Amino acid sequence: MYPRMLDLLQLYYSWPHEMDADVLAAFRCILNNRYPDIMRDARQFSNAMALQIDGVQFDGQNYTVLAAHPPEWIRSKFWVQMIEQACICGQYNQSGHRV
């Protein structure tokens, strides 16, 4: 996945080939910092779709509501993985112990 991202970045930006690893590392850092914002936006979108289509709203506990309505910009299989991870993290945060 990362080499493809590097190819996409090179469509818009240029740098010496020797700096590929540094550019990729910087890009990963940017994505890591943006991940909470991206997930917040995706959850809001998914919640709106669940409310509109199923009449059900995400209560902060039942992540299956969100899993059934992936955002348009995230593939379904990746969305389910992200929701499963959010569920595990939510259980971890509530219990204070590793699940």
Stretch 20-36: mean pLDDT? 81
Taking residues 4-20, report their average pLDDT.
84
Nearest to 51, CA basis, from 65, 67, 41, 61: 65
Query: Residue 70 corresponds to which amino acid?
Result: P
Record the tokens describing residue 9, joined without a space.
């970045």
Higher pLDDT, residue 86 or 45: 45
Q: What is the pLDDT of residues 52-85, one digit of tens each?
A: 999 988 887 788 888 889 998 888 888 888 888 8
CA–CA dist 5, 20 (Å, integer): 11
Cβ proximity of 68 and 76 under 8 Å: no
What are the domain boundaries of the chain? 2-95
The structure tokens 């240029």 sit at 14
- Residue 89 pLDDT: 64
Q: How confident is the model at residue 24 (pLDDT cuts 50, 70, 90)?
A: confident
Residue 2: per-residue pLDDT:
61
Q: Whole-structure pTM over 0.75, yes or no? A: no
Q: Average pLDDT of 45-55?
A: 92
